[in-house]
Amino acid sequence: MTIMANHHSSLSYLDTARPEPWASFIEQIDRVAPHLGPLSHWLETLKRPKRILMVDVPIIRDDGTIGHYEGYRVQHNLSRGPGKGGVRFHPAVTLNEVMALAGWMTVKNAALGLPFGGAKGGVRIDPRRFSRAELERITRRYTSEIGIVIGPDKDIPAPDVGTNEQTMAWMMDTYSVNVGHTASGVVTGKPIALGGSLGRQEATGRGVYIAAREAGLRRGIPVAGARVVIQGFGNVGGIAARIFRENGAKAIALQDADGAIANPAGIDIPAALTHVAAHGSLAGFAGGEAISGEDFWQMDCEYFVPAALEGQVTPARARNLRTKIVVEGANGPTTPAADDILHERNILVIPDVLANAGGVTVSYFEWVQDFSSFFWSEEEINARLESIMVKAFAAIWQMAEERQVSIRTAAFIIACQRVLAAREQRGLYP
């Protein structure tokens, strides 16, 4: 493993100080140790990323100057298969964050039974401050720099915060040019024309809805008629809001990086999505009243969906939340201390490694389709997604009841058992 200096980030989502994500991940791993029996012998494996690549990403800017940007690719664990995880373009990207995100991908893939290890990547830029041509140059240079560790059977990137299907098209093309043949399986989340999968764009938000519905069924809180509050209104939060609405729920408050809005009668989600597509944020949307961040975190609702960045549900916010179920659309949005407070208050938390696993599940379908050059219909994709998520939810819920632990700890128990069993069976070489 290459040792790199740790970075601390003071940048935030809506000016909230973010705790160190890697510390949160380590604490979550430690909480699982008593439940692993003889496999706990291998637990240290999960506290050390297998491989960290830190790269300089230099480009010529449109004005002729040369810009240098810091990029990362972290492969946390590859015991169960090739690395899998997104690439994030965001000004708050740090090595600490990418390590944690890679760790959560290891757990997520194992909890869902997908044949992948965990990986994650990122470049510390604000994509809104670059032209399309500059973003293409950054993406292609970053891909060339990490090309030594990625590949269809080594590590498969995907979109994340600040990246999209166009980013993936550039990544696939750059990698393909460098290896001398089209390698469509090197990334997922691609445009349909380049081997992307139907249903991939909506998959994470759809999975959030499925997780919420399954939790509601077990807690006697039906989605139909429920009030939903959503932080983050991008690909995950926006799609989840739309599917909640289609199933009879109403979103009464939304928040994005530019502020929060509320409408007790229910926000017109299609209109809000149209506004964001045209203006880039919820700012100026007439379908809700602007509210303070403090008020947003105290809205009465049945479902609260944090779908922005990690570290958002702090202990202070956990004490104020007025919800019955938290469904984590983002990765790592709840700190371990906040988790404990929500547990004490009998607020059910459906963790990120289960709730937002729809995206990587359909990424898996895309990868399989690329290998076979045989593509499925959107109905087949959604049915298979539903099947995998419902089955994983049931197994994790059962583990939580058997061991008398939280849903998060149950998901970590199942995932860590699978990863560490693979580690033990493979053995150490040399």
Question: What is the reported pLDDT for 257?
Answer: 86
Cβ of 23: how many Cβ atoms within 10 Å?
13
Choose among 133, 117, 1, 128: nearest CA to 54. Answer: 1
In angstroms, how far is the first alpha carbon of the chain from the final one? 15
Residue range 135-191, pLDDT digits in tens: 999 999 999 999 999 999 999 999 998 999 999 999 999 999 999 999 999 999 999
What is the rounded CA–CA span in Å between residue 403 and residue 413?
A: 10
**For 46-182, which CATH superfamily applies?**
Leucine Dehydrogenase, chain A, domain 1 (3.40.50.10860)
CATH topology of domain 201-355: Rossmann fold (3.40.50)
Q: Give me 62's structure tokens.
A: 């449109």
Question: Across residues 4-15, what is the average pLDDT?
Answer: 35
% of residues, the chain, pLDDT over 70: 96
Q: Give me 315's structure tokens.
A: 């202990």
Residue range 100-141, pLDDT digits in tens: 999 999 999 999 999 999 999 999 999 999 999 999 999 999
Is 266:252 a contact under the CB 8 Å cutoff? yes
Residue range 13-59, pLDDT digits in tens: 333 455 689 998 999 999 999 999 999 999 999 999 999 999 999 99
Amino acid (1-letter code) at residue 289:
E
Domain ranges of the chain: 46-182, 201-355
Q: Give me 159's structure tokens.
A: 């979109």
- Kindly report the average pLDDT of the chain as a whole number: 93
| Residues forming the active site | 120
46-182 and 201-355, same CATH topology: yes
Amino acid (1-letter code) at residue 116:
F
Q: Which of 24-28, 89-93, 410-414 has the lowest mean pLDDT?
A: 24-28
Residue range 197-219, pLDDT digits in tens: 999 989 999 999 999 999 999 99
Q: Give me 320's structure tokens.
A: 């104020």
Cβ of 274: how many Cβ atoms within 10 Å?
12
Residue range 234-256, pLDDT digits in tens: 889 999 999 999 999 999 999 99
Question: What is the reported pLDDT for 18?
Answer: 56
pTM of this structure: 0.91
CB-based burial, 351-383: b 16+ in 10 Å, e otherwise: bbbbbbbbbbbbbbbbbebbeeeebbeeeebbe
Question: Across residues 297-317, what is the average pLDDT?
Answer: 93
